[in-house]
Structure 1
């Protein structure tokens, strides 16, 4: 099954499930759905940053400071956060990511409910080749320079989540 065929819950502006549709249809029709963002930090507190593969359906070859993705039908935000973090980082045995806040992203690429989490990953990472083209751990200062410098194309939803995370009182940024 291709990513476009994966069935997602369609939600309303209050984040209530109102139906299901294949991912490709959800994107094509601009239907609201659910997504998780997980900021992974290593033992030194550096932030995992990566470039998405060129084959991604949304924002191909863009940089991101989160791992994550869409929720499958019936999946909770917590389940998706752990699943996506382990898949994209290529690890097993992560602690459950800590939920921080949820917001409705509306911008380039569409609109979706986005739940931001963070997790400590002290395991050696082996990022999923179909998701991650390049990766490194950056300090917050290095990441902020990359974000503010404009040299890298950042996924707009991740950039919005990062800006909100920097302002969030429970964030360890």
Structure 2
């Protein structure tokens, strides 16, 4: 199936389902929908970072410190988090990602989506999908921080990362 044809739930400001539409229409019309962001770390605590392929519908060729994607129609955030993490990392039998928090991301220009943030430990050898991931590595957090001003990052992933960092320093 073409990714643009995938059916998504359209939601309101309280994250209640108000309809459904194909992903292509959701993106084109800036309809509010649901996404998951999963920060994967290896046994050494390094963060999985990747550059998206140039063919991605959203944010092509940008870097991200999360794996994830849209929540399908009728799918729970938790199920989408596990599915997306396994798909993007190219693994199976990954532990269920741990839910951390949810926020409404506003990308401006009419685009906003509910974003559920998770983390997961991945001790398995990864084999990301070539059609999704152009480059990848597990990087120490200090390296990720050093690369923030140098690389072009997906804006919603960057917003999730900043919120995650804020939660760590607040606690």
Q: TM-score band, normalised by the shorter chain?
A: over 0.9
Gaps of 5+ in 2: none
- Is 1:153 the counterpart of 2:126? The answer is no
Q: Does 1:164 align with 2:168?
A: no
Alignment partner, residue 120 of structure 2: 119
* 1:168 CA drift (Å): 1.2
TM-score by length of 1: 0.95
Task: Look up the SS of the partner of 1:21 in the other structure.
Answer: strand
Q: Distance in 1 between matches of 2:3 and 2:141?
A: 32
Alignment of 1:1-173 (within 5 A): 1-107=1-107, 110-147=111-148, 150-169=149-168
Specify the SS of the correspondent of 1:59: coil
Q: Which 4+ stretches in 1 moved above 3 angstroms?
A: 169-172
What runs of 5+ residues in structure 1 fail to find an aligned partner?
none
> How far, CA to CA, are the matches of 1:102 and 1:169 in structure 2?
15
What are the superposed Cα offsets for residues 27-62 of structure 1, whole Å, 9 maximum, x if unpaired?
Answer: 111000000000000000000000000000000000
TM norm structure 2: 0.96
Question: Aligned equivalents of 1:83 and 1:155: distance in 2?
Answer: 20
Q: Provide the aligned length of Structure 1 versus Structure 2.
A: 170
Q: d(CA) in 2 for partners of 1:81 and 1:73?
A: 14
CA RMSD of aligned residues (A): 1.5
